[in-house]
Amino acid sequence: MSDKIIQITEMNKWFGDFQVLKNINLEVEKNKKIVVCGPSGSGKSTLIRCINRLEEHQQGSIIVDGNELTEDTKDIEKIRAEVGMVFQQFNLFPHLSILDNCTLAPIWVKKMPKKDAEDLALQHLEKVQIADQANKYPGQLSGGQQQRCAIARALCMEPKIMLFDEPTSALDPEMIKEVLDAMVNLAKAGMTMIVVTHEMGFAKEVADEVIFMDEGMIVERAETKEFFANPKSDRTKLFLSQIL
């Protein structure tokens, strides 16, 4: 229990009549890095959106850091504050400067004094190497810089888990590397990460385990080396042969 930070059991989810997630069982231990891959429409994004309850599941249970996700809203905000999330479309707040984007949640959610929040934000911006852009607005930055800012923004809440929802899919090939570098550094610092991505290079480099999903089910879950060397199911083999 103690080192299992996420526990999903028998989880089912429907969008209307369509079942997107079927009988998901997943346990994630502290400090593990997990890459989720699979064809589009396989429910990867929905799965990690369920972990901080941006989507509600209908059956089964999700336990994050000892708290079960239910309808109780008061609880959910506390859990969300401990689970950082990075989106495909960055979703920075365009009306705030980069620095304000990073300090907004610490100041208003964690009630951190403004000065401390700014110091913390600059620290994290420094880590993703955009501290010099702190006073610009998101619209003035490139996609890669925006995504790194989004990572810094999530880190400013000092989360226990980081969720990445296809963080590089909306980026130019040149910018993918700078974002992946930031993520690799984060992984090396020991963060618990669940990453939905198609970047198999990244998976090979940092992931402890790889999960392959198709049609709403977890088809295969294996150690990274094992996963790439001799995948068990045929569906995984087909997917890997197409993507590599």
Partner 1 sequence: MNKLNFLQPDKNNLNTYLYTGVILVAFSIFIVFLNSFFNKDIVSFLPGPISFFLPLILGFIGLHLIRIDYSGYKFLESINKNINTNNFNAFLSLLIVFVVIKSLPPLLSWFIIDANIAGDSKDVCTGSGACWTYIKIWFNRFMYGMYPNPEQWRINLSFIALAFLGTIGFFATEKFKKYLTLYYVVVYPLIAFFFIFFFISGGPIFFDFSYGIIAAVISIIIGFFIPSKFKMYYFIIVPITLYILLKYVFFYEELIELGKLEALEWVETGAWGGLSLTFIVSFFCLIFCFPIGLFLSLGRRSDFPIIKYISIGMIEFWRGVPLITVLFMSSVMFPMFLPEDMFIDKLVRVIIAISLFEAAYVAEVIRGGLQALPRGQYDAAKSLGMGYWKMHILVILPQALKLVIPGIANTFLALVKDTPLIFVVGLLEIVGMLNLAKTNPEWLGFAMEGYVFASVLFFIICYAMSKYSYNLEQKYKTER
Residues contributing to the site for partner 1 (CB under 8 A): 49, 52, 54, 73, 77-78, 80-85, 87, 89-95, 104-105, 108-111, 137-139, 150, 153-154, 157
| Residues 6 or more apart in contact with residue 164 via CB below 8 angstroms | 48, 85, 86, 183, 193, 194, 195, 196, 197
Cα 145–chain centre separation: 17
| Residues 6 or more apart in contact with residue 182 via CB below 8 angstroms | 127, 128, 129, 148, 151
Closest contact distance (angstroms) between CB of 117 and partner 1 is 13
Closest contact distance (angstroms) between CB of 111 and partner 1 is 8
Angle at CA of residue 205, ends 87 and 80, nearest 5°: 30
Nearer to partner 1, 89 or 233 (CB): 89
Quickly count: other Cβ atoms within 10 Å of residue 190's Cβ. 10
Which two three-digit tokens encode residue 143?
A: 């996609």
Nearer to partner 1, 20 or 105 (CB): 105
Nearer to partner 1, 133 or 236 (CB): 133
Percent of the chain that is helix, strand, coil (3-state, to 5): 40, 25, 30
Closest contact distance (angstroms) between CB of 113 and partner 1 is 14
Nearer to partner 1, 15 or 108 (CB): 108
Closest contact distance (angstroms) between CB of 206 and partner 1 is 22
Nearer to partner 1, 13 or 49 (CB): 49
Nearer to partner 1, 103 or 224 (CB): 103
Closest contact distance (angstroms) between CB of 224 and partner 1 is 27
Helix extents (H) in the chain = 44-51, 73-82, 98-108, 114-127, 143-155, 173-188, 200-206, 224-229, 234-243
Closest contact distance (angstroms) between CB of 38 and partner 1 is 21
